[in-house]
Amino acid sequence: MYQLLSIVLYLVGGFYFLIFGAYVIILSFIFSHKYLYPTLPFLTRVQLFLLGAWIRIKNKIPNDQTYIVMMNHASFADVFFSVQPLKGKYTAILASFNFKIPIWGTMLRFFKAIPVYRKDKIKAIKAIKHAETIIKDLKYHVVIFPEGTRTTDGKLQKFKKGGFHMAINTQVPIIPIAVKGGFNYKPKTRWYIKPSIIDIEVGNPIDVSKYTVNDIDSLIDDTRKEFLKLLNEQEK
């Protein structure tokens, strides 16, 4: 049943994505991508609805300053989920393969998204430094998935250090966002979709001013505790 339904959802969602992508690209050429930000939550929510995901949001990201937005990574749709509670201008650090996908890759470049090469440590460090520049110069929020890749068992995975170095170097607070339901909806290990309610909960900002590079493990531990609390999980 889910397999047949998924084929229909992928076809309908794919058709909408072509229209959505054309809208973003054309308007970015004619005007500027900055005019698109107010419309993105609505446009992406329609995309998610057509792909069988119904969104419920608890709390919004404060609009008082720039944040590093960290989110757990369970589904292929997490980038669209991340847009829902955001305000202002933002970009994301994403796996490099995303930038090779037609239309999607072009859209990401318009929004100054940053490719990260998981197997190339030097390029990964350059990606973090680039993100730091965007935070300092453009005052964009930066979305990052601290696990680095999607979970294969539904549990929170070990965090990579790159995003935490970025937070300490820029002295920008971290906002944890917990997405609940994404693994049941469409995990990495399953091609078909199970239509689901997705709960997105924004946690409290984590002040990084008391941490130095020498305290990075403590910052990771404290952030992880916040995620586990939001996700109602126990440490593995």
Residue 135: inside a domain, yes or no?
yes
Q: What is the pLDDT of residue 234?
A: 67
Provide mean pLDDT across the span 109-122: 91
pTM for the complete prediction? Answer: 0.93
What are the backbone angles phi and psi of residue 54, rounded to the nearest 5°?
A: -105, 125
Show the domain range for 110. Answer: 2-231
Task: Yes or no: say if 206 and 226 are a contact pair by the CB < 8 Å rule.
Answer: yes
Residue of 142, 73, 71, 80 whose CA lies nearest to 113: 142
Percentage of the chain modeled with pLDDT above 70: 98
Where does the chain show beta strands of DSSP type E?
53-58, 68-71, 90-95, 114-116, 141-144, 174-180, 196-202
Residue 236: inside a domain, yes or no?
no
- Pairwise CA distance, residues 135 & 147, whole Å: 21
55 versus 62: the higher-pLDDT residue is 55
Residue 146: inside a domain, yes or no?
yes
Q: What is the pLDDT of residue 154?
A: 94
Number of domains in the chain: 1
Provide mean pLDDT across the span 118-130: 91
pLDDT band at 201 (very low <50, low <70, confident <90, very high): very high
Domain containing residue 154: CATH number: 3.40.1130.10
